[in-house]
Structure 1
């Protein structure tokens, strides 16, 4: 299993302060657009022997936090990984996997134990065996796929933080413990609180892991390329400016051809598509989270033509800006 954890890799060369600042800026901007649209959370009380097989969950990050005991994470063609009390694993893009008390087990699909897993609801799995007991907090964190950057989609399929690493993030540790508590307070706005708590937990989980990846060139070479990483931050923060490929290349001190080729190689898509995605992310946010008049949105996200914005928006989201706001 290709996993990442901050105690499992070591940077090949030290970063100077300017590198660290640039990487922090880049990581912040890459995480900023990621907003959860719904969460299904569940608490598992299992005794060996047990196994749960989960399907792929597109548009959903999957989180497992071991409250007590241990479990194995396995997937076809991957090496198994054992988790203990306090450890957690996140599958950023919802890759199919299985959890069990022993890595060689095959068995019950998740949909059999939890047939309904709608965002905004909770569930429970109880398996009565004769062996050691384990308790887990599990969650499907649904996000708007249009808000997930190409960088996010390129993350390793499984990211692990062990208990010591979680303890070094007190806010994350305490949030997970609260969410895992069987007697968690319930009241008005509970689902919204749960949604935002998991959203904060996801960012707190990704932050140390991404910092480690920044020091591992083979994992995220984007963070080691000053021109392309600067371009990504520029498009993330200054998307309303009238950029062209030529002006972006000049901004980062590269030729057009070198810039385009390196960007596509490191980011996985063209600069034009990346910029369009960032503009559409912001347009969607403005339409759903603010009362800004719809007529003012195009200029705020870099479009000089309302017709051009309307056509681009409909092509990206499949609906008009008005329909998107109403929904």
Structure 2
């Protein structure tokens, strides 16, 4: 069976992890704005509340894991209504590849939890990835049914691990594994569009082809054959489950790969159209400009002259 989840996550190109260990006593509260990374919270002991911008809250108890695939704004606190402090004021420098310990003192109940921010290349977050819920909660019972995920989290939470040789690198790699395992668990157990698309036998085959063989000369008809479905049934099912047409989704996959080649490699610009499945440079040029708002040459020049800038295109229709 094709590893569609692996291919879905591969374009994200995880680039590093910042993680922190917190020990807090009530009253306390920390909030974050939209982060440009996936965020994980794992409660080691005690309990806390996830406070959402709309006013809702979710209790996290010992052994629960919260995942924010796109780093949506939220807060953690001992209780709803507790004043919160902006995370940037508590930890102003959260570079990938580093970690820290924070303690908040108070007279109330104690909680210990781990937080991690997984930085990835936003050019790789496909419509399927963006269709994931803003927040995913995996409770203790669900984690215990996934031994590898559960044991990895318990190992990360073990006391004294921060002092072991190589502990930082081990923790960084472990959190990356937790992220992948958590998404796999969520997609197996939750009824969300991304999960339904990955479970659909025909649509999943077409998606796997798009993610692994995007350079081939696909048409809607050939993708439907790959899925083992008629053109009309395939197009309707794909749009319902993915939220996009097959042509736009394939174009988006090609464009994100082209943008990666332009920004991060020295591959000659003239060879990129063929590498990402375009028969003519003119067709690629027009499609890339519609997708990014820039010509390929402008995109390469801008990306390299401003390496810290976030060049995330508007993802307009790049072709059908």
For residue 85 of structure 1, report the CA deviation from its aligned partner.
1.7
CA contact 2:193–2:241 (8 Å) conserved in 1 = no
Deviations 1:100-121 (Å, cap 9, x if unpaired)? Answer: 1223423322222223333333
For residue 47 of structure 1, report the CA deviation from its aligned partner.
0.6
CA contact 1:178–1:184 (8 Å) conserved in 2 = no
Match runs of 1:89-168 below 5 Å: 89-168=66-145
CA contact 1:36–1:195 (8 Å) conserved in 2 = no
Matched residues, number = 301
Of stretches 316-325 and 95-104 in structure 1, the one that deviates more from structure 2 is 316-325
The answer for the alignment partner of 1:64 in structure 2 is: 41
Tell me, in whole angstroms, the C-alpha distance in 2 between the residues paired with 1:49 and 1:131: 6
For structure 2, which runs of at least 5 residues remain unmatched after alignment? 308-320
Deviations 1:299-324 (Å, cap 9, x if unpaired)? Answer: 44323445655665676566658666
Q: Which of these residues, 182, 199, 220, is aligned with residue 245 of structure 1? A: 220
For residue 251 of structure 1, report the CA deviation from its aligned partner.
3.5
Tell me, in whole angstroms, the C-alpha distance in 1 between the residues paired with 2:70 and 2:33: 12
Q: Secondary structure at the match of 1:243?
A: coil
Q: Which of these residues, 17, 26, 32, is aligned with residue 48 of structure 1? A: 26
Q: Secondary structure at the match of 2:71?
A: coil
The answer for the alignment partner of 1:205 in structure 2 is: 182
Q: Does 1:301 align with 2:276?
A: yes
Deviations 1:254-293 (Å, cap 9, x if unpaired)? Answer: 5545544443332122322211232344456678899988
Tell me, in whole angstroms, the C-alpha distance in 1 between the residues paired with 2:217 and 2:50: 47
Tell me, in whole angstroms, the C-alpha distance in 1 between the residues paired with 2:178 and 2:92: 26
For structure 1, which runs of at least 5 residues remain unmatched after alignment? 1-20
Q: Which of these residues, 236, 248, 252, is aligned with residue 277 of structure 1? A: 252
The answer for the alignment partner of 1:18 in structure 2 is: none
CA contact 2:18–2:98 (8 Å) conserved in 1 = yes
CA contact 2:18–2:172 (8 Å) conserved in 1 = no
For residue 92 of structure 1, report the CA deviation from its aligned partner.
1.0
Of stretches 127-136 and 227-236 in structure 1, the one that deviates more from structure 2 is 227-236
For residue 36 of structure 1, report the CA deviation from its aligned partner.
1.6
CA contact 2:38–2:118 (8 Å) conserved in 1 = yes
Residues 32 and 187 (structure 1), Cα distance of their counterparts in 2 relative to 1, 3 Å cut: same
Residues 50 and 144 (structure 1), Cα distance of their counterparts in 2 relative to 1, 3 Å cut: same
Tell me, in whole angstroms, the C-alpha distance in 2 between the residues paired with 1:56 and 1:260: 34
Q: Which of these residues, 58, 62, 71, is aligned with residue 85 of structure 1? A: 62
TM-score (norm 1): 0.75
The answer for the alignment partner of 2:243 in structure 1 is: 268
The answer for the alignment partner of 2:311 in structure 1 is: none
Higher relative contact order (CA 8 A, sep 6+): 1
TM-score (norm 2): 0.77
Q: Which of these residues, 218, 223, 227, is aligned with residue 202 of structure 2? A: 227
